[in-house]
Amino acid sequence: MTSAIPLAITLAYVVIALVIGLRARGGRSMQALEEWGVAGRSMNAVVLYLLIGAGSISAYTFMGAPGWAYSKGVPVFYVVIYLSYLAIVAWYFGPKVWEFGARFGHVTQASAIADRYESAALGALAAFVMSIGTLAYAVLQTIGSAYILNVMSGGKIPVWAGVTLVLGVMAIYLYVSGQRAIGLTNAFQGALMLMVAWAIGLWATHAFTGQWWFGDIFTRFKAERPEFLTLPGAGGDMSFAFWTTSIIVSMLSFMPPVWTQWMSARSKQTIRTSATWLPTYYVVILPMVVVGFIGVFSLPNLARADTVALEMALASMPVVLTGLLGAGTLAAAMSSCEPFIHSAALTYAKDILQPAFKLSNAATGRLARMLLIPIMALIVAPVAITEPANLIMILLIGLGFAAQVLPAFIGMFFWPRASKVGVTAGIVAGFALTVLFTVVFKNPLGIHAGFWGLMLNLPVFVAVSLKTRPASADVTARFFAIARRF
């Protein structure tokens, strides 16, 4: 690539994100953990809509969704379905989580777990193990960011420099403005992604068919490659069982940053309003998927399926569109990365270090902000630069574990009799089976490993809970005064 315009557009996006992130503070003090961690519970419905929407559309979705369409076809649409179900999860649980936070002072998911089960140790355990998946996810997004900068610069920005640039920019505005920076930058990134995805998708469709809608593309698939239009897809690996269990496991993975987003809302009604309209955001996926389908005919010999959109841009799109694709993909990566790093810093400080060293709230607030730097410099950056081959495996195990924390939430929202020993036993049993079925016997019978983990986890959780002492009556009473409302 010879033009400097795509790189200039991509870097312009980085500068704009930095300015928005810095201005998000708006003169407020970030000393209090509630201000830096959950934006003083102040976000309105529009910001929350774009925050959750953009946060769930990662670089993997922006690059991986076209890649899945290119290699498998319609199986990619399970993502649209589970994201819609996640909106329903947000609609039901979000207002309750918000009320827990506002009434009981929680700013993290693990602090709610510690409070419900009267166990700082269980909270610390949940915080630590959830952070494995959280940080693996952040590393993947950082790798995606560095890759985009490398491609847009024609190789002039090496991976280490791209990682440093992206993390450095995020570190500055996260330190200064905390969750407020995440809210406003994600709002900008979410709007940018929506615009870029449709511009790219419609341009590619028009260039390929002369039409502005996708009908001719799929009519050709029906005639020449019908296996792309049905399950199990062209790869033959998305069975009904794997489709269904992937949706269920993804829907039940309550990741900590999502919890933090709910607690950042201005009110319970704000969460309901944004969750109600949230599924509409996922029209962002359709045009990018169509780009992947077009690639099946126009770029039939790609070595890596997830580069199909970028390769198409570099081969045939106007330089401005190529730059917008770079900016949009970088926005997708950063909008997913920053909440995960912020969440890890917040939970390490609040749920592990504060109880361990009996820190004051003020000291914990300062510590959370400081922790951003070592987390980025000592964990995210080195791992991202080395680009480990088994990172996807780490992420899958991390997400598999996220689903295994389900008993903690069942005991918080549905079953007062749940005990901390039951929750711990369920998590340990479920996690062990998930690891076994991810690493050794991969997804037996075509069923997602995390789903197998839950099949063991839930009976163990119930049986052990019934045999052990539940939390005290006043704790269950105050939680279920909120949880029982429907």
By the criterion CB under 8 A, which residues form the site for other proteins? 73-74, 77-78, 80-82, 84-85, 87-88, 91-92, 213-215, 218-219, 221-222, 226-227, 229-231, 240-241, 243-244, 247-248, 251, 272-273, 275-277, 279-280, 282-283, 286, 413-417, 470, 473, 476-477, 480, 483-484, 486
**Shorter beta-carbon distance to other proteins: residue 67 or 326:** 67
Cα distance between residue 97 and residue 99, in whole Å: 5
Tokens of 136: 């693996």
Distance of CA 213 to the CA centre of its chain: 30
Nearer Cβ to other proteins (72/342):
72
Cβ 426 to other proteins, closest distance in Å? 16
Identify which of 277, 250, 264 has the alpha carbon closest to the alpha carbon of residue 97. 264
Distance CA 314, CA 148 (A): 12
Distance CA 387, CA 146 (A): 11
**CB 58 → other proteins: shortest distance, Å?**
19
Query: Measured from the CB atom, is 381 or 408 closer to other proteins?
Result: 408
Nearer to other proteins, 31 or 219 (CB): 219
Rounded least distance, CB 279 to other proteins, Å: 4
Q: How far is the CB of 42 from other proteins (least distance, A)?
A: 22
Residue from 38, 7, 320 nearest 165 by CA = 7
Q: How far is CA 44 from the centre of its chain?
A: 20
Nearest to other proteins of 92, 160 (CB atom): 92
Q: What is the largest CA-CA distance in the chain?
A: 69
Q: 467: buried, middle or exposed (CB in 10 Å: 19+, 13-18, 0-12)? A: exposed
CB of 94 to other proteins, least distance (A): 11
Contact 466, 417 (CB under 8 A): yes
Nearer to other proteins, 97 or 383 (CB): 97
Closest distance to other proteins from the beta carbon of 181 (Å): 29
* CB of residue 200 to other proteins, shortest distance in Å: 18
Name which of 104 and 480 has its Cβ closer to other proteins.
480
Do 196 and 327 touch, CB atoms closer than 8 A?
yes
Verify cis geometry, omega within 30 degrees of 0, for the bond prior to 232.
Answer: yes
Nearer to other proteins, 37 or 73 (CB): 73
Quickly list H helices, 233-353: 240-251, 256-263, 268-277, 285-298, 308-316, 319-347
Minimum Å gap between C-beta 298 and other proteins is 19
**135 CB-side CA count, 13 A:** 23
Q: Looking at beta carbons only, is 217 or 346 nearer to other proteins?
A: 217
CB of 422 to other proteins, least distance (A): 13
CB of 414 to other proteins, least distance (A): 5
Q: Which is nearer to other proteins, 137 or 415 (CB)?
A: 415
